[in-house]
């Protein structure tokens, strides 16, 4: 029975109609985000395209964690997402990020732990909006940590107050930015991650419920992170292929240019190229290892995301690798070569390969040679370290356990 004075059909609430348009527009834009994944002109196979759609889903999950959730500028949370899977993410890394507005003052405190490398970067994340601006870079050695690893530093638009420790107070421009944390593990089974807490010391009251304007802003950021940023990194990696930088680091300088405008760490030298290996081939990787705090090499796919490094040995670092007289030699192949330093393609046939030298005085460029898989032993020293099938199985069991330990999984 319809109450007197009411129509039989309910009158839509204008706010509800606005929210419907907002949500439908977001879903339409998200749907269009698959255009670069499913582009028939790209030389990808069906599995590559399937992985591309998973890449978009991973990016969506990461974006929800850091925009819709994860705190705001005045109530920041150092969020991490597993799996990270974008921008050729480092398999040895635990990445964390928080939004900050440097018109406020923030305190970062905690314990540095025992990871091989700990770095902090205050920067913009506008990959699709021009060069990235980096305002500050610190590593774990620059935090003034006590003997037990405890530390506390301040980021502020104001100068340090009288009597404060200038070495732990960083005056920065009053910009909206992001704090990015890189933790790189050498020994996945033993190293202890840094315990970090970020707080705004002059916040306003927390906003606990999301209003339409907040949702609209969050969805715009979410689309950028889940569609525009993955497309940027996919194009970045693809340009190696377009330039013919396939199975060679010949284009990489031993004194590399800064990558800070793309979000790279100034403590780190990078080298990248496209790799392509057939079922009956192997790609031999060789380099003389410099003195450094950390180094690693990894395989990625056509979407510029790391291959499965939890269950497969698609990456190696200085703690995991076997070194012969200062030289690191690895075999990149689809099949098990019986070599300790095997980089497993996990079924992918092409993608990006990346190496990192961290806090190193030099940046040697590795060599790559494509050889028949059956001839691998002829191109390696006779005493090259090998693994039996049982030893490989045990190595992978420990690898998986160490990887999941990092993420409390």
Read off the pLDDT of residues 16-25 as tens digits, 9 standing for 90 and up: 999 999 999 9
What CATH number should be reported for the domain holding residue 301? 2.60.120.1600
The answer to whether residues 342 and 330 touch, using CB atoms and an 8 Å cutoff, is yes
Q: Do 135 and 149 sit in the same domain of this protein?
A: yes
**Are 307 and 366 members of one domain?**
yes
**Residues 121 and 179: beta-carbon distance below 8 Å:** yes
What confidence tens digit (pLDDT) does each residue in 173-230 have?
999 999 999 999 999 999 999 999 999 999 999 989 999 999 999 999 999 889 988 8
pLDDT at 261: 67
Please indicate, yes or no, whether residues 268 and 379 belong to a single structural domain of this protein: yes
pLDDT at 4: 43
167 and 249 together in one domain: no
Do 89 and 162 reside in the same domain of the chain? yes
Q: What span, in angstroms and rounded, lies between the C-alpha atoms of 120 and 135?
A: 11
Asked, as a colleague might, if the bond just before 83 is cis with ω within 30 of 0, I would say yes
**Domain co-membership, 50 together with 92:** no
Burial of residue 3 (CB within 10 Å: 0-12, 13-18, 19+) is exposed
> Do both 355 and 258 map to the same domain?
yes
3-class secondary-structure state, position 338: coil
Helices (H), 11-169: 14-32, 46-63
Is 160 in the same domain as 48?
no
Indicate whether 166 belongs to any domain.
yes
Is 239 inside a domain boundary?
Answer: no
| Residue-range definition of the domain harbouring residue 153 | 72-204
Do 314 and 372 belong to one domain?
yes
Q: Is residue 116 in some structural domain?
A: yes
Q: How far is CA 340 from the centre of its chain?
A: 26
Q: Are residues 104 and 199 in the same domain?
A: yes
- The pLDDT assigned to 3 comes to 43
* Domain contains 11: no
pLDDT of residue 223: 93
Q: What is the pLDDT of residue 124?
A: 81
**Which pLDDT score, from 0 to 100, does residue 1 have?**
41
Residues 231, 169: Cα–Cα separation, whole Å: 37
Is there a domain that residue 5 lies in?
no
Q: Is the pTM of this model over 0.85?
A: yes
Rounded to whole angstroms, how far apart are CA atoms 255 and 232?
25
238 is a domain residue: no
Domain count along the chain: 3
Q: Are residues 318 and 216 in the same domain?
A: no
Q: Specify the pLDDT at position 127.
A: 57
CATH of the domain at 166: 2.60.120
Stretches where the chain sits below pLDDT 50 are: 1-6
Query: Does residue 199 sit in the same domain as residue 320?
Result: no
126 located within any domain: yes
The verdict on residue 320 lying in a domain is: yes
């Amino acid at each position: 029975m319809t109450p007197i004075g009411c129509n039989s059909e309910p009158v839509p609430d204008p706010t509800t109609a606005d929210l419907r348009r907002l949500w439908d527009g977001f879903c339409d834009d998200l749907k269009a985000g698959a255009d670069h994944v499913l582009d028939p002109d790209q030389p990808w196979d069906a599995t590559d395209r399937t992985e591309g759609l998973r890449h978009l889903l991973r990016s969506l999950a990461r974006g929800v964690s850091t925009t819709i959730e994860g705190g705001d500028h005045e109530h920041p949370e150092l969020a991490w997402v597993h799996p990270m899977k974008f921008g050729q993410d480092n398999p040895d890394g635990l990445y964390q990020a928080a939004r900050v507005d440097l018109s406020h003052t923030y305190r970062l405190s905690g314990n540095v732990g025992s990871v091989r490398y700990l770095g902090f970067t205050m920067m913009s994340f506008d990959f699709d909006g021009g060069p990235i601006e980096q305002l500050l870079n610190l590593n774990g050695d620059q935090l003034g940590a006590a003997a037990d690893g405890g530390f506390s530093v301040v980021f502020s638009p104001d100068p340090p107050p009288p009597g404060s420790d200038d070495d732990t107070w960083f005056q920065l421009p009053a910009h909206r930015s992001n704090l990015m944390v890189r933790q790189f593990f050498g020994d996945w089974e033993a190293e202890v991650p840094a315990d970090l807490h970020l707080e705004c010391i002059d916040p306003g009251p927390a906003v606990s419920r999301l209003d339409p304007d907040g949702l609209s802003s969050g969805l715009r950021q979410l689309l950028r992170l889940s569609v525009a940023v993955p497309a940027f990194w996919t194009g970045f990696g693809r340009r190696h292929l377009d330039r013919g930088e396939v199975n060679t680091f010949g284009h990489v300088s031993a004194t590399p240019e800064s990558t800070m405008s793309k979000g790279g760490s100034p403590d780190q030298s990078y080298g990248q190229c496209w790799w392509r290996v057939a079922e009956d081939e192997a790609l031999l990787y060789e380099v003389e290892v410099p003195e450094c705090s950390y180094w690693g090499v990894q395989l990625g796919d056509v979407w510029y995301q790391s291959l499965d490094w939890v269950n497969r040995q698609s990456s190696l670092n200085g703690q995991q690798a076997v070194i012969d007289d200062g030289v690191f030699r690895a075999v990149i192949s689809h099949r098990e070569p019986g070599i300790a330093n095997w980089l497993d393609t996990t079924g992918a046939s092409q993608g990006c390969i990346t190496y990192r030298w961290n806090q190193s005085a030099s940046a040697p460029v590795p060599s790559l040679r494509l050889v028949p898989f059956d001839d691998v032993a002829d191109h390696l020293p006779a005493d090259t370290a090998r693994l039996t099938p049982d030893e490989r199985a045990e190595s992978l069991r420990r690898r998986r356990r160490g990887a999941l330990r990092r993420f409390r999984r």
